[in-house]
Homo-oligomer: A and B are copies of this chain.
Amino acid sequence: MKQYIQENKERFFEELFSLLRIPSVSSLEQHKPDMAACAERLVELLKEAGADEAGVYPTAGHPVVFGQKLIDPSLPTVLVYGHYDVQPVDPIELWHSDPFEPEIRDGAIYARGANDDKGQLFMHIKAFEFLVRTGALKHNVKFILEGEEEIGSPSLAAWATENKDLLAADIILVSDTTMISESVPSINCGMRGLSYVEVKVTGPNKDLHSGHYGGAVANPINVLCDMISSLIDKDGHVTVKGFYDDVVELSAEDRAKLSRAPFDLHEYKEFLDIKEVKGEAGYSTLERTGIRPCLDVNGIWGGYIGEGAKTVLPSVAHAKISMRLVPNQDSATITRLFEEHFKAIAPDYVKVEVKPHHGGDGFLIPISSPAYKAAEKAMTEVYGIEPVPSRGGGSIPILADLQRILGIDPLLMGFGLERDTIHSPNESYLLKQLFAGMESIVLFYKYY
């Protein structure tokens, strides 16, 4: 594969850039045509790579792309999952180059989606192309590429249920996560779930002059701050009633195993430029993101947020709040518990609304499975070092759904690095990782 990459590098860049140039932001209505264009472009790339059939399939939301090459029903089938939608780009002013005009700088591609997940799914298309063109393909290969991962995959579960036979496979292969570091390759064997809500706190029925009413009428921003502040106690526990009921405590042995993953707290703090970390008492930083649930405010707004000063006592305040869940916590249940709790703690002088956004459950992948073993062997060969099993903090809620609907385990071979700052300005993807990923995937097919 190394040589194939060398010979085809420029074409690879052109093809990947053609995907990255399409602003397929799934959360913004205005990008609907871009979603369709991106799906069509993927169909072309799949066909060019060697898929016998590939097409765009409508769903209730953004379309899915499905493509496949079936060579022999007696051979194992690999279902590649990826997503072609990307996160919004704001704050746009912090980007050093146009998020939708990819640039190679310092050995990395800079663009929204360079890593998440256009860059990573592209590795699978090229690994597949290599296997097809060199006659080395010994698996049936299917691709399911969705356009709604960044908004919680609201349509794919239903589509997968209706097209269960089409998606039948032995393993779901996914590259949409990170490795621990460049020098510590890792394979993700568990991910957190997600519950995401938007809350609205209404005080008076109109914006008021803060001089005339300040001190006498509850300010919804102050109240929202009080309420948010009460959601996490001084030990870092989430106070939502029933929040921890279904959390399975890991055994001391399991915690010891996970703590083998190398981690340098000093480097971590330096990378983020923070003096101290903060989290649940009694757990390490890796445990806090790996095996423990948490609650974060992802956005807050209310009152006057323009330049200068305005003495307003606003009518409403809003926040987007998400909870990361661990396996066995049910996303829908947590969303309901949050809603009940948030309404229960709302004081008399405000009205509150809670609107659920997307969510999803966490899941675990057995380290002893043949697929995990094949990935381990492949990455050991490419990186010259055995990958560590890790528990990722992020969520790909749809994978737990697909696991349940199709009865197939996912395998997460992610090649992203923290430095890629996905979801943030200046998202990037190291060329080194892009190519190592392609090689690892080709070898995965060899050993699986």
Partner-B contacts on A (CB < 8 A): 27-29, 87-88, 90-91, 150-152, 178, 192, 194, 196, 198, 203-219, 221-222, 224-226, 228-230, 232, 236, 272-280, 285-286, 288-289, 292-314, 317-320, 322, 324, 347-350, 357-358, 392-395, 418, 421-425
Chain B nearest CB from A92 CB (Å) reads: 12
B contact residues around A274 at 8 Å (CB): 203-205, 217-218, 349-350
29 of the cross-chain contacts (CB-CB < 8 Å) are A28-B308, A90-B306, A152-B309, A192-B211, A194-B311, A196-B311, A207-B425, A208-B423, A212-B394, A214-B324, A215-B296, A215-B324, A216-B279, A217-B279, A221-B228, A221-B297, A222-B232, A224-B300, A225-B226, A275-B348, A276-B347, A276-B348, A278-B347, A298-B309, A298-B314, A300-B317, A303-B320, A304-B320, A310-B320
- In the complex, the answer to whether A305 meets B299 with C-beta atoms within 8 Å is yes
- In the complex, the answer to whether B300 meets A305 with C-beta atoms within 8 Å is yes
- Name the contact of A206 in the complex, choosing from B27, B90, B347, B424 (C-beta under 8 A): B424
Residue of B nearest to A216 (CB): B288
B contact residues around A28 at 8 Å (CB): 306-308
A299 and B275 in contact, given A192-B211, A292-B215 (Cβ under 8 angstroms): no
- In the complex, the answer to whether A219 meets B297 with C-beta atoms within 8 Å is yes
Residue of B nearest to A228 (CB): B225
Residue of A215, A288, A319 contacting most chain B CB atoms (<10 Å): A215
B contact residues around A150 at 8 Å (CB): 310
Report the bound CA distance from A413 to B264 in whole Å: 67
The quantity of this chain's copies bound in the complex is 2
| 8 closest cross-chain pairs (CB), A and B | A211-B394, A215-B294, A27-B308, A299-B303, A205-B273, A229-B229, A218-B278, A204-B272
A213 and B304 in contact, given A203-B274, A272-B204 (Cβ under 8 angstroms): no
- In the complex, the answer to whether A224 meets B222 with C-beta atoms within 8 Å is no
A308 and B276 in contact, given A298-B210, A393-B215 (Cβ under 8 angstroms): no
Chain B nearest CB from A393 CB (Å) reads: 5
- In the complex, the answer to whether B424 meets A312 with C-beta atoms within 8 Å is yes
A88 and B304 in contact, given A279-B215, A310-B298 (Cβ under 8 angstroms): yes
Report the bound CA distance from A277 to B289 in whole Å: 41
A304 and B298 in contact, given A211-B194, A324-B211 (Cβ under 8 angstroms): yes
A311 and B322 in contact, given A215-B294, A229-B225 (Cβ under 8 angstroms): yes
- In the complex, the answer to whether A357 meets B309 with C-beta atoms within 8 Å is yes
- Name the contact of A423 in the complex, choosing from B209, B224, B279, B288 (C-beta under 8 A): B209
Report the bound CA distance from A228 to B219 in whole Å: 12
**With A205-B273, A228-B229 given, can you name 11 additional A-B contacts, CB distance below 8 Å?**
A207-B423, A207-B424, A215-B279, A215-B280, A216-B286, A224-B225, A224-B300, A276-B349, A301-B301, A309-B322, A311-B423
